[in-house]
Each structure stands twice: as structure tokens, then as C-alpha cells.
Structure 1
């Protein structure tokens, strides 16, 4: 839609919180746009977008979203806005129907064929003691060595936002702001699964957000992700050891 308004693809800005699907990042990269990862919450998404567009007026805000929360397709209201999102969805549905003769579901199928099939598994465990929460994460940190596998699932890299560490970065520093008072680790697995675990700032919850991409089918992505999450449960969360209640 930005293209229809004359905005070059490279000037299209999309954003998603780091616990949200990586599908938007892949789609933005395919079309040569600019994607930015942020901490959770629309305050981070909106403020980041406003700051970037202010610094580079050629950039055009196209989409910001957070899983299970909502979307922001403009910065007229710098927050999630379901009304404008629904209106744009209807406009898109009409565009694809009248110009290409396809439905939105068919268009989604085309996108999947282009960038891959994504499966997610998100949820939480009840963890009532902050000290237990910290112990769970510290066990994985292994005094700064970090585990290189969880069961049979090999780990390629780790980002520890609590400590400001990212093994993928040349300087080993996380690009996301450090949150020393909140536990948050993202694990990047060798099979391309991505799992973020974090403590809720308002509830006694240890949340997990996981995703797998497969180039062949959603079913294969789901099966592969299920195996990874079994290892995450058994070797990271260890609910029996730490007394976690799954919900």
C-alpha cells in the first residue's frame, strides 16, 4: 500500500516486538524494506518509529505489531489501533480481489511460498517466587558460559537482554536496551527455531514465545517446533524441579 502511494520499498519501515513472529522481518527483507526489532510493548514500537522517521523523513511508517496485542499502520495515533487496521485489511482484500482475482487467504499462501511457512507456540508457566525465576535463567547462563544445547536441540546463539549480551554481535552487546530488573533470554537454535523466555513485569508468569520456519509446509514447522519446545521444557524450564505450573 505504501508502494501505491509512491513510497520506494527501501523507505518502508516495519517494526515488531522481539517476541512477535519473524515473518514480518522476512517479508520486509524480501521487498528490501527496513525492519526494526524492539522490546515488548507499543511504547517501544511507537517511540522507535517516531524517532526514526524524525531522523530520516524519507522513511515511511508502514506497520508495527505485537503478537496477541495489535497493529499500528500509521503514527497518527502512536499506539495499537484496531479500527484503522480493520479498514486497511478491507482495502487490501478489495485490492487483491479486484486486481488479481484472489482472496486474502490465497495471498497469504503466496507469501508463504515466497518466504516460508511459520509456526508458533506461545504460552506461560506460573512462577510465584522471583528468586526461583532468576535461578531458572541463571542455570541456563552457566556463569556466562551459556548452554550450547538443550537436550538434542543444538543452540547457535543466545541473546540475554537482562545482561545486555548477544553472542551474534561482534562486540557481544545486545542491540536491544538492557533490562537488568527483568529476566529475558532469546535462544536461536541451529535448526532455525527461535525461543524467547521472559518474566512478566506485572504477573507471576514465566512466558515463552517460540517460532519455527520451514520452507515446505506449516505442518513440518509445527512438528519441528514441538521437538524443540519439549527440550526447552525439559532442560531450561524444568517445571518439576522449580515447581512451575503450566497454563
Structure 2
């Protein structure tokens, strides 16, 4: 059906969301605006749905939420007897409404719903799925995206985001649903009859108890008298993070006042992502006044953490996700080895775009490092593999460069609450021993070599965006670069064909990972580039790594590689 026909169907339908009616009226006659909202259905994949809030099939609204939930319900009913689903939501615009609409659809299909009665971090949803023995979970969140976005993430009974196979089957069901004819249960009626049940505080308490159990040196964090400035970036982390820090002995926590309360408009940080320095501006400003040992920032659904720490001149320095992950891995390995709690045959997991420094750290402590595709669900899957063999205790840590970390197996997604706690423990331990976080990082570089990383996103907006992204990836496969930044490409890994090619010998080896639209280049000087289209945004992301004897040398290499690769991509 053409975009204008769909627009007319929507305008003729008695919509029960006045915001949608007003929006449709406002774009009457605007061909481009109508086309953008109706030229496709919002894409459903392993990341669920993510899109701009608004009217149309290419938007997040009560109708696309209901349609997706009906598809999920059909899938669950076919797969399981008497399924149940846990639902959580964050501080974004209409997150609470979308959560209730999903609950109404599930209840109408005879599926028991466990719903958090207030906004909660994404890891709490992962925990509830397993704790309540649910067949699936739904988290209403767009993570760290700008305010105009919201999303719908689906979890399996293992607490991980659903697999590619499951996503395809759910999508098949979704495609058979008429979004204006989805059966709904009255919310209050379902609540009174017990078909929808609010998740109890006891579940929240058990989650925090599991987080606290990941402490390695409880006395260190109690005795260090840490002072922390914290910003939840107007999201879900405010209470859980402050609660866990209080429980482990971090009593002096100053919260950025403008970013303390939930606010889906994110007025003070248009991009509420701790990876973006501008999001931490208010926190850094407060640090100048409070002089804390540490700045912590969690994103709106509290599954990512960013930090800043003082240097020897008292200036606050941002620490990247690769650096924090490496610091935590070194700390966990060193301390668990020292106190005798390191398991036999320990395992750590990282994604293919995450620093190779982790491999050197792991090797030093006899830890097996497992590389997985980008996305924390693949780290969660590795925990599940170990659990199936009753070896989950072998897992000690997992992380990705995009500020996501997890210690423990109580959830199967990155967890900003446990990461905040462990970062404070690590900072407290080092403080008691007279060194700073930056001193500890320099010690790592002195031991294993300097690694510098940078990520670059190339936006491909609009109707032709996906086509352009596909053309870029196809072109690189047809004509792979011989050099990048003047450095010879010695190996190319194509995760879609599952082949690693040695460019000198033309020998090919098999990559034993699920197929994914990712290309990786290893250069002659130890530098590398990984390229992947985003699964949730109209972007292609490039991940650069450079090594050297000094930071200056590594930065120089990285700059040349990045400059040249940008030209290769045509941006």
C-alpha cells in the first residue's frame, strides 16, 4: 500500500491517542513527512523495535507496540504451555503507557504478566525474567538514544535478548497481525483478576543482593571514604545505584540535581549517553565544586556507565569504555587470584570490537577470553552455555567497548548497577593503596602496551539510508582496501561469509561465530578497523584500534587510519 493510502487509513481511524491524531493533522499535505512515517514498517530484529515516537508504521506508538506484542504472544502460545512475561520500562516519553499497552495485549491472550510498578533499569528486567520463571521479557527503552526515540526490547527465558532465530519467528507472527485489530484487556480488570501482577519489592531486593554478592574486597570500599558525584542522566539509575552504593559503604554521594529526577525530554543532555562527553558536562561542572574521587554517569536505562577521575593536577579526565573494562578485568583477575576466589578455568567474554588489550590481561592470569559478535546478548549467551554444563561459576567478567559491563551470572545483560559498585570498589582499593585510577591504567599500559581506540559513526538517514549502508558494505566486499592510512592490510575477516582471509597468502580460515554483516581489517602495524551497520540506528559504525610504545605514537597512527578510512567509505 502506498504511503498516502496508509496515511488516509490512519486519519480515518478513530485513534485512541490524541497526540497521534494531532500529528497526522499537522502533516496533512506534507508529502515528505507522510512518506517518512509510512514508507515501511518499523523493523523488528534481535534488538526488538527502536524508532522515533509518533504516528505511522515507521514510528513507535501504541499501535506498533500492540502489533509487536500480539506477534510475540502468538509465538509464545505456539512455543509454550501457560507462558508468562515480565515487563519493565524506563523514563522515556510514553514508556509507562507502552508497557501497560503490552501488558493489556498479553493478558487478552491469556498470558500472565509481571509488571514493574515503577521505572526500573534494563538489568532488573533481565533478572525478573529468570527470577519469576517467565518465558519472555519486554523492556520499553531506547537506551541512550535522544529523547525523540523509544524502543521495545524482547528477552528470552534465559534473560538474554532473543536470538536471531527467535526474532525471525516473532517477526513472522507480527507480519500477520493487523495493527488496528489487536485484542486488548482492560488494564484495571486484568490487575484485579491477577492476570497482570506488579513485581514485588522482594524481587528488587533479591536483585540488589545479587549485585552486592559481586564485591571482592568489601572492606576496601568501606574504609576508603570515597566521595562520588553521580548522575543518572534523568533515567532509571537514581535509586538502584544510590541504594547499592549505600549498602556497600559509599555514603558520600552527591547527585547532579538537574539530572536526578526522571525526565524523558532530557533537557540538560540531548544525547543521554555516557559515551558522549557533552552528556557529562553538568557532572563535570559539579566535580569542580565538590572535588570527588570519582564521577559516575549511567544512561537512561542504567545498563551503561561512564566515569571521570581526577588527574594529578585536579582536572577531571574521562575514561573510555575500553579503558574501564580493562581496568576492571585487571582488578578482578588480580584480586580474585590474590584472595583465592578465582575459579578453576576462569572465563571472560568480550565483543569483537572491544579492545584486544583484554586478551593480554586474561593471558597473564590464565583466563580464557572468548570473542563474540557485537551486542551484549552474545555475552549473555556464553553464560548460558556455561550454565548448561553447570560451569557458570567459571565466568568472571564480560564487557564491551560501549560502556557495558557485567560481573556475576544473575542477569544476562550489561548492568550499570553492578558496574557502578565495582568501579567504586576498585577506586576505593586503589585509593587505600595510594594510587589513582589513572595510575592503575598507566600501569596496565606499561605492562601490556598502549592501546588507543576510537569509534566513528556515519549516519545514513531517510528512505535511502538502508540502501546506502548496503551499498557501502557490498562495495567493500567487492573491492577490499589494500592499505588503510598507508599501512598494509594483512587480514580481512568477513563475518557474513564466516571467512578470515590472509591477504599475503590468500589462505582462508573459518570464523566460528553466527553470520553477521561485519568486516574487520588487521593492519601490518597492529592497528585494526572493524565496520558494522548498527542494528538499531541508521548508522554504520567504524571501530579503530592503534597500538604503540607511547600514547602519542598510537594516536598518530589512529589519526592516519581514521582519516583514510573515512575517505574509503565515501564520507
> TM-score band (shorter)?
0.7 to 0.9
Q: Are the counterparts in 1 of residues 343 and 394 from structure 2 also a CA contact under 8 Å?
A: no
Once residues 10 and 228 of structure 1 are traced to their aligned partners in structure 2, the CA distance between those partners, rounded to angstroms, is 40
Structure 1 pair 53–218 and aligned structure 2 pair: CA distance change class (3 A): farther
The CA RMSD measured in Å over matched residues stands at: 2.4
Residues 1:198 and 2:535 are matched in the alignment: no
**Cα offsets for 1:177-197 (capped at 9, x unmatched):** 112xxx310111111111111
Higher strand share: 1
Residues 1:84 and 2:414 are matched in the alignment: no
> Secondary structure of 1:2's partner?
helix
**Cα offsets for 1:26-70 (capped at 9, x unmatched):** 211222211011111111111113313543728622211112241
Once residues 150 and 111 of structure 1 are traced to their aligned partners in structure 2, the CA distance between those partners, rounded to angstroms, is 28
In structure 2, the partner of 1:245 is: none
Residues 1:72 and 2:406 are matched in the alignment: yes
Q: Are the counterparts in 1 of residues 392 and 409 from structure 2 also a CA contact under 8 Å?
A: no
In structure 2, the partner of 1:243 is: none
**Cα offsets for 1:47-95 (capped at 9, x unmatched):** 1133135437286222111122411011112221122122222222333
Once residues 97 and 65 of structure 1 are traced to their aligned partners in structure 2, the CA distance between those partners, rounded to angstroms, is 24
1:10-159 equivalent positions in 2, closer than 5 A: 11-52=345-386, 54-55=388-389, 57=391, 60-98=394-432, 100-128=433-461, 129=464, 130-142=466-478, 146-150=480-484, 152-159=486-493
In structure 1, the partner of 2:515 is: 178
Once residues 4 and 58 of structure 1 are traced to their aligned partners in structure 2, the CA distance between those partners, rounded to angstroms, is 21
In structure 1, the partner of 2:498 is: 164
Q: Give the gaps of 5 or more residues in structure 1.
A: 240-247
Q: Are the counterparts in 2 of residues 11 and 58 from structure 1 also a CA contact under 8 Å?
A: no
Aligned length: 231
In structure 1, the partner of 2:523 is: 189
> Secondary structure of 1:77's partner?
coil
TM-score of the two chains, using structure 2 as the length reference: 0.38
Once residues 7 and 50 of structure 1 are traced to their aligned partners in structure 2, the CA distance between those partners, rounded to angstroms, is 21
TM-score of the two chains, using structure 1 as the length reference: 0.83
Structure 1 pair 85–150 and aligned structure 2 pair: CA distance change class (3 A): closer
Q: Give the gaps of 5 or more residues in structure 2.
A: 1-334
Give the C-alpha shift of residue 6 in structure 1: 2.1
Give the C-alpha shift of residue 165 in structure 1: 1.4
Q: Are the counterparts in 2 of residues 53 and 60 from structure 1 also a CA contact under 8 Å?
A: no
Q: Are the counterparts in 2 of residues 165 and 172 from structure 1 also a CA contact under 8 Å?
A: yes
Give the C-alpha shift of residue 205 in structure 1: 0.7
Structure 1 pair 162–58 and aligned structure 2 pair: CA distance change class (3 A): closer
Once residues 222 and 184 of structure 1 are traced to their aligned partners in structure 2, the CA distance between those partners, rounded to angstroms, is 24
Once residues 158 and 190 of structure 1 are traced to their aligned partners in structure 2, the CA distance between those partners, rounded to angstroms, is 12
Once residues 392 and 414 of structure 2 are traced to their aligned partners in structure 1, the CA distance between those partners, rounded to angstroms, is 23
Residue 208 (structure 1) aligned to one of 532, 542, 554: 542
> Secondary structure of 1:198's partner?
strand
In structure 2, the partner of 1:238 is: 570
Give the C-alpha shift of residue 125 in structure 1: 0.8
Once residues 343 and 430 of structure 2 are traced to their aligned partners in structure 1, the CA distance between those partners, rounded to angstroms, is 19
Larger radius of gyration: 2
**Cα offsets for 1:78-116 (capped at 9, x unmatched):** 221122122222222333344x43222211111110111
> Secondary structure of 2:458's partner?
strand
